[in-house]
Structure 1
Amino acid sequence: MERIHSFSAAGTRLRLARTPLAAAAVACLFSAAPFALWAQDASKSAAAAKLAPRALEQPVLARMLRSQDLKPLLSQTPAGTKPLDTHEAKLDLRIAFTESKIWNPNSQRYDKVKLRSYQSPGTNPDVPFVAPTIVTSPGETVRVGLDNQLPPQPDCHPANINIPHCFNSTNLHSHGLWVSPTGNSDNVLLTLRPGVKFEYEYNLPADHPAGTFWYHPHLHGSTALQVSSGMAGALLVRGDRLPGSDRTGDVDTLLRDETGAAMPERLLMFQQVAYACRGTDGKIKTDSNGFWTCGENDIGQIDNYDDQFGFGVWQKSGRHTSINGTVLPTFNGLVAGRVERWRLLHAGVRDTVNLQLREVDAASASIAGLSGAALDNWVTQHCTGAPLKQFEVASDGLTHAKAIVKSENVLQPGYRSDALVVFPKAAKYCVLDAAAPASASITNAPEDRQLLGIAEVGGAAKVDDVEAFVTEKLVASAKQQMPENVRERVVAGLRDHLRLDDFVPHRTIDKGEINAKGQDVVFNIEDVVEDGKKRTVYMVDGKPYDPSAARDLILGNVEEWRLSSLVGGHPFHIHVNPFQIVSILDDKGKEVSVTGDVDGNGKLVDPQYANLQGTWKDTLFVKKGYHLLVRTRYERYIGEYVLHCHILDHEDQGMMQNVRVLVPDGKGGGISATSHH
């Protein structure tokens, strides 16, 4: 590895990953001038306060100490002693209540809020509810030191562990990383109570995929509340491994511009911060439209699952999905005719995001001062361009064998999508969460359209055929960057509708490789009456979460998993080992993993399953009545971890199950999950 590269952004000195590729790519995150995201001092005039929306800024990069920054270990060589680089990086995260402001378009002012958040060296004080972005590389050890400084909560353990509880206790999950689930690695069965300091250690193997991952709390009973407070950050693994005649490489080595530098990129983290202000009666305050509201002297908080989470609550709240901590941001620094890599990360708790980019009518007025119905009418009148194509090269951090061309990108909670984006000409564009059909959404009902921001694109270039343009840019990069012994093959693949076979991190699992009977996972929700009170029970395989029980798997086995849901749609997520999609059958038995859901006339009505067959993921939406078949290998790691629904309030209330991978004879046992409580 090369030495550490440093960049300065917004006045903060940042220590980045050590590969030249990582340094160049991360520099692109800071290509635009920095802006304050939500900070408008309360003393400023009402007119100044209406300057929102603010410009979009990238989340701050984690200020990490790496092994070369510390007193090095020494290695004795024939030429004498020399520093030994242990390839380690350390980030300290303090967890505490933070007071700040969030823009509320409905009231046209900033709401004061007090939320649990991660704080770290270099945290932008104006954007405290977006955790810093960790950048690492295969073969590096990442240490994250958590210091839980939230106030104590005595007697917070209910008799039923599937009732949300212990909101000030926490832990950490590295979502999507292929690392050990035990000890102080990606162990979500630990509880870190207030006052506890603990260091997680993620030893990324040298063959770890390069891609977009993320981290967030994962303590059963408080996960949704903490993630909804903004306790989430991106975790980027960058790779510089070129493909060879007998191995695949990192797509990072292909995604370069004509100078050989890493392609410009943007990280977009979608969050749904469900803060509310309460009256003296304890009920959430609402305005004349029924949307949640806060007075000038109120402080919004997240403190209750009963009325701040649940079916349809986000839509009724009137809150807006934020991007990188900003509500209704303006995207600056965009140039027509330039290919950019957009890393899309759904860090929300439960509601679907259906991302579209549409050109704005040239005669449109500013959205300043608009909200509610008026803002939606503006979208109807002015966001009239055809949706731009997005070329998804990876999902959940795992490169596709062929880029998936999308005009709308349906993101469920936990999803990540790496998409290549080209704006064909200079103009303004709407960044939309488009209305999702009932079958595509978490709520199993049509979800309203919402404007997420405005993209302002400059430059003189005009692109008529975006797909051909992207293809030629990647072909030019391949001719320049790829080794001679694979160059022709990579170029031929790109010309065949953007095939990326040389960059897929995992081998396809053929049916003949399967050596065990497989697994069935069934999500369900039932209403029960206990002590005269109605209560909703969230279940996997007919049972709510039981920390003393586990599904046993055997290291080295290769199995098929059959996923289904009896009530509602649920994003299935499993830790440690990703899976490959084999088939998706709709409720009538029709295969939809290639075409997506189409109606009787062949019209596409829900694109989210289109072209998924053969792709790798770690999170996958399971519609009611559908049957999904995936395959997975249990490789390298033993120990106990979890599978669950990534509607996080469902997980907190019981829609989770422990998984225990045993040594190959099946008799190795494991640490009991009872340590969780």
Structure 2
Amino acid sequence: MMLKQQFLNTFFISFLLGINACSTVDKTDKAQPSGLTALECSGTEHYQPLREPPSITAVNKIQTDLSARSVYKCVNGKAIKLQSYIDTQAGTDNRPIGPAYILHVNAKKPGPILRIKLSNQLGDSNKTYDCGHHGKDIKVCTNLHTHGFHVSPKGSDDPSVVQSDYVFIKITPATPPVQYQYDIPADHAPGTHWMHAHLHGSTAPQVKNGMAGALILKGELDKTLATEYGIRGEKDKIMLLTQMSTDEDPVPCGKDENGDDITTAINGQCLPSITIRAGDVQRWRFIHAGVSETIHLALKFSDGRKQTLNEFARDGITLNGIQRQKNITLQPGYRSDVLVQFTPEQCHSFPCELYLIDDASEARSSLLGIAESYKKIAKIIIIANNKTTMRMPPSSVFTNPYPWICEPSDFESCSKRLQEKIVQFATLDNDSGGADFTVNNYVYPDTPVGTPIGPPVQQLRLNNKNTWKLWVGEKQTSVASHPFHIHVNPFQLIDEKGFSYWKDTLLVSVDKNKGRENALTVLSHYEDFDGRFVLHCHNLNHEDKGMMMDVVITK
């Protein structure tokens, strides 16, 4: 009864303050409860309404405290101890999801600032920790990366220094809180991005636990969609896709009613429900915050019909127009912004249902080279609409925000005029019966395997432009592919139809891109920031094992 009264009080106060009552706002830095009872985890089972992540929204500046803690979280009605991000200013939450930070960019005003003071509370602050790559304590050491932000990579191994997107600092439970400050350029394009733990050696297990959160930059496009087309509030949804796993429970989300595993959660919820009125247009911001599995997104009715997904941004960068698709493939690190609309004619009666799914795929279409079966992600419930049908924004609303490095019509010949950089990913069998995870035949940071291809560091010059060739080494015997990700600067590419766009993460396929003669071609321009950062395979298990390389931009 007391819990019920507390919830009602919270709801009433939140309603008066205009705050989402699904998360309790608490500006004191109180510790998360040491445990959650079964009662506190009720209401987290399958088919509960999808909720937004706990969030902080500001126009110019966010200043907050974020802690990494080992706490109990609710997963499908069960309390499971997980390494998690906690930001009580964003709101306490029993789901395994980090906060969302939402800022606004305006090219006519100074860029916004995101200040995060990160404290590591994953262990005893009075102990000494070995946080080297193969250190015995690496899993309780951490740091922070803003995936998709075009910001400075500078920082220091000294925790008293203010950090930007510097991923080399080792923050142990004995380290005092570390101040991060991200100065976002005024001309940064609005878009959907994310943050996650990124200490080499502990990235995969921490992200697998749910140490990830959304980063949203809003701008003129958001204003247009809101004011001219009504796409705002509950019609603009963040969907952080995670693939949780623990040593004790590899599939904590359990199984659906057909006995199939639920491997992908949204905002920390297993198989939630999403209700949408027929005729409404919603924006869904998909963020693949998983570790090592492909997601083949589709919206599917029980009779096999698939709903059109109107994709207008990839990796947080707006496309020229809308790409209408029945399936959108997401690799770890990918983002996709889509518009969805269901017409009344699609339902014989109301409410009608369909599912957001991870569609079945052949082995050659899977990141791990293993055929994947159909899996449910969320139930979509379409209800009758007694309001006016919303207008779907036309393709002309969406335009590429950055100047091309090479004009799409001249992409091939232009790319050949630029100095070339190369990245070969390869998983190579070693003499001990295991495997070495390499970039250009180096295991990170600089251990050669066989004959290295060039130096162990990519050296670049500020304001230069380069063509990058990406491929899987011919000596790789593994069937796994590798998502290429580089920090700080996005890259331009072109598809087989001549459509050009920007990304920061791209699959290098063992099926299509094995051998240098089958390499992918992308173009990059290094603007605004010098410093040291990394490129790596975004299968985070591979990155932790050495499939990463330093990149240094000098003036």
255 and 555 in structure 1: CA distance in 2 versus 1, 3 angstrom threshold: same
1:94 aligns with 2:67: yes
Q: Deviations over 1:221-257 (max 9, x none)?
A: 00001101101000000013xxxxxxxxxx3243236
C-alpha distance in structure 1 between counterparts of 2:404 and 2:75, whole Å: 45
Answer with 1 or 2: which has the greater Rg: 1
Counterpart of 1:186 in 2: which secondary structure?
A: coil
Give the Å deviation of 1:473.
Answer: 3.5
C-alpha distance in structure 2 between counterparts of 1:554 and 1:259, whole Å: 43
In 2, are the aligned partners of 1:119 and 1:128 still within 8 Å (CA)? Answer: no
Give the Å deviation of 1:258.
Answer: 5.0
Q: Which residue of 2 aligns with 1:340?
A: 282
AA partner of residue 116 (structure 1): Q
Counterpart of 1:9 in 2: which secondary structure?
A: coil
Q: Which of 359, 380, 401 matches 1:505?
A: 401
Q: Which residue of 1 aligns with 2:337?
A: 418
Counterpart of 1:620 in 2: which secondary structure?
A: strand
Give the Å deviation of 1:12.
Answer: 5.6
Give the Å deviation of 1:384.
Answer: 2.1
Q: Which residue of 1 aligns with 2:189?
A: 209
C-alpha distance in structure 1 between counterparts of 2:120 and 2:544, whole Å: 20
Instruction: Say what the alpha-carbon RMSD is for the aligned residues.
Output: 3.2
C-alpha distance in structure 2 between counterparts of 1:452 and 1:294, whole Å: 10
Q: Which residue of 2 aligns with 1:651?
A: 543
Counterpart of 1:167 in 2: which secondary structure?
A: helix
Give the Å deviation of 1:155.
Answer: 5.6
In 1, are the aligned partners of 2:204 and 2:540 still within 8 Å (CA)? Answer: yes
Give the Å deviation of 1:132.
Answer: 0.9
Of residues 639-648 and 127-136 in structure 1, the stretch that sits farther from structure 2 once superposed is 127-136
Q: How is 1:284-299 mapped onto 2 (pairs within 5 angstroms)?
A: none
Q: Deviations over 1:305-364 (max 9, x none)?
A: xxxxxxxxxxx99452111111111113x11111111100100011011111122xxxxx
In 1, are the aligned partners of 2:286 and 2:337 still within 8 Å (CA)? Answer: yes
C-alpha distance in structure 2 between counterparts of 1:221 and 1:508, whole Å: 36
C-alpha distance in structure 2 between counterparts of 1:98 and 1:392, whole Å: 37
In 1, are the aligned partners of 2:97 and 2:210 still within 8 Å (CA)? Answer: yes
50 and 219 in structure 1: CA distance in 2 versus 1, 3 angstrom threshold: closer
Q: Which of 331, 355, 358 matches 2:274?
A: 331
C-alpha distance in structure 1 between counterparts of 2:150 and 2:196, whole Å: 16
C-alpha distance in structure 2 between counterparts of 1:569 and 1:132, whole Å: 30
Q: Which residue of 1 aligns with 2:457?
A: 550
Give the Å deviation of 1:419.
Answer: 0.3
Q: Which residue of 1 aligns with 2:533?
A: 641
Counterpart of 2:149 in 1: which secondary structure?
A: coil
In 1, are the aligned partners of 2:208 and 2:243 still within 8 Å (CA)? Answer: yes
Q: Which residue of 2 aligns with 1:519?
A: 421
Q: Identity across aligned pairs (percent)? A: 32
AA partner of residue 289 (structure 2): A
Q: Deviations over 1:180-236 (max 9, x none)?
A: 000211111111111321011000011011000100010000000110110100000
In 2, are the aligned partners of 1:117 and 1:128 still within 8 Å (CA)? Answer: no
Q: Which residue of 2 aligns with 1:144?
A: 116
Give the Å deviation of 1:402.
Answer: 2.2
Give the Å deviation of 1:62.
Answer: 2.8
97 and 63 in structure 1: CA distance in 2 versus 1, 3 angstrom threshold: farther
462 and 111 in structure 1: CA distance in 2 versus 1, 3 angstrom threshold: same
Counterpart of 2:51 in 1: which secondary structure?
A: coil
Give the Å deviation of 1:424.
Answer: 2.0
Counterpart of 1:454 in 2: which secondary structure?
A: strand
C-alpha distance in structure 1 between counterparts of 2:426 and 2:44, whole Å: 45
In 2, are the aligned partners of 1:173 and 1:218 still within 8 Å (CA)? Answer: yes
Of residues 190-199 and 209-218 in structure 1, the stretch that sits farther from structure 2 once superposed is 190-199
Q: How is 1:613-652 mapped onto 2 (pairs within 5 angstroms)?
A: 613-624=499-510, 625-626=512-513, 627-652=519-544
In 1, are the aligned partners of 2:437 and 2:545 still within 8 Å (CA)? Answer: yes
1:113 aligns with 2:85: no
Q: How is 1:26-45 mapped onto 2 (pairs within 5 angstroms)?
A: 42=38
C-alpha distance in structure 2 between counterparts of 1:164 and 1:215, whole Å: 25
TM-score (norm 1): 0.66
Q: Which of 422, 432, 438 matches 1:539?
A: 438
In 1, are the aligned partners of 2:44 and 2:269 still within 8 Å (CA)? Answer: no
AA partner of residue 551 (structure 1): Q
554 and 154 in structure 1: CA distance in 2 versus 1, 3 angstrom threshold: same
AA partner of residue 116 (structure 2): V
13 and 226 in structure 1: CA distance in 2 versus 1, 3 angstrom threshold: closer
Q: Which of 118, 126, 130 matches 1:156?
A: 130
AA partner of residue 104 (structure 2): S
154 and 341 in structure 1: CA distance in 2 versus 1, 3 angstrom threshold: same
In 2, are the aligned partners of 1:268 and 1:343 still within 8 Å (CA)? Answer: yes
Q: Which residue of 2 aligns with 1:581?
A: 493
C-alpha distance in structure 2 between counterparts of 1:227 and 1:201, whole Å: 22
What residue ranges of structure 2 are gaps of 5+ in the alignment?
1-16, 27-34, 106-110, 156-162, 345-349, 448-455, 514-518
1:190 aligns with 2:169: yes
Q: Which residue of 2 aligns with 1:10?
A: 21
In 1, are the aligned partners of 2:73 and 2:79 still within 8 Å (CA)? Answer: yes
Q: Deviations over 1:445-477 (max 9, x none)?
A: 2111111121111124799xxxxx98x642xxx
C-alpha distance in structure 1 between counterparts of 2:266 and 2:325, whole Å: 20
Q: Deviations over 1:395-441 (max 9, x none)?
A: 11100012111101111100100001012235211111111222221
In 2, are the aligned partners of 1:96 and 1:116 still within 8 Å (CA)? Answer: yes
C-alpha distance in structure 2 between counterparts of 1:14 and 1:90, whole Å: 15
C-alpha distance in structure 2 between counterparts of 1:499 and 1:439, whole Å: 35
Counterpart of 1:637 in 2: which secondary structure?
A: coil
C-alpha distance in structure 1 between counterparts of 2:441 and 2:260, whole Å: 32
Q: Which residue of 1 aligns with 2:96?
A: 129
Q: How is 1:395-474 mapped onto 2 (pairs within 5 angstroms)?
A: 395-425=314-344, 426=350, 427-460=352-385, 473-474=392-393
Q: Which of 215, 218, 232 matches 2:212?
A: 232
C-alpha distance in structure 1 between counterparts of 2:70 and 2:525, whole Å: 41
AA partner of residue 175 (structure 1): H
In 2, are the aligned partners of 1:400 and 1:500 still within 8 Å (CA)? Answer: no
Q: Which residue of 1 aligns with 2:293?
A: 351
Counterpart of 2:226 in 1: which secondary structure?
A: coil
C-alpha distance in structure 2 between counterparts of 1:436 and 1:257, whole Å: 39
Q: Which residue of 2 aligns with 1:57?
A: 51
AA partner of residue 326 (structure 1): Q
Give the Å deviation of 1:267.
Answer: 1.1
317 and 554 in structure 1: CA distance in 2 versus 1, 3 angstrom threshold: farther
Give the Å deviation of 1:260.
Answer: 5.8
Give the Å deviation of 1:515.
Answer: 6.5
140 and 563 in structure 1: CA distance in 2 versus 1, 3 angstrom threshold: same
Give the Å deviation of 1:50.
Answer: 10
Query: Aligned residues, how many?
Result: 481
Give the Å deviation of 1:129.
Answer: 1.6
Q: Which residue of 1 aligns with 2:222?
A: 252
Q: Deviations over 1:152-189 (max 9, x none)?
A: 5756356xx36896111111000010000002111111
C-alpha distance in structure 1 between counterparts of 2:25 and 2:253, whole Å: 37
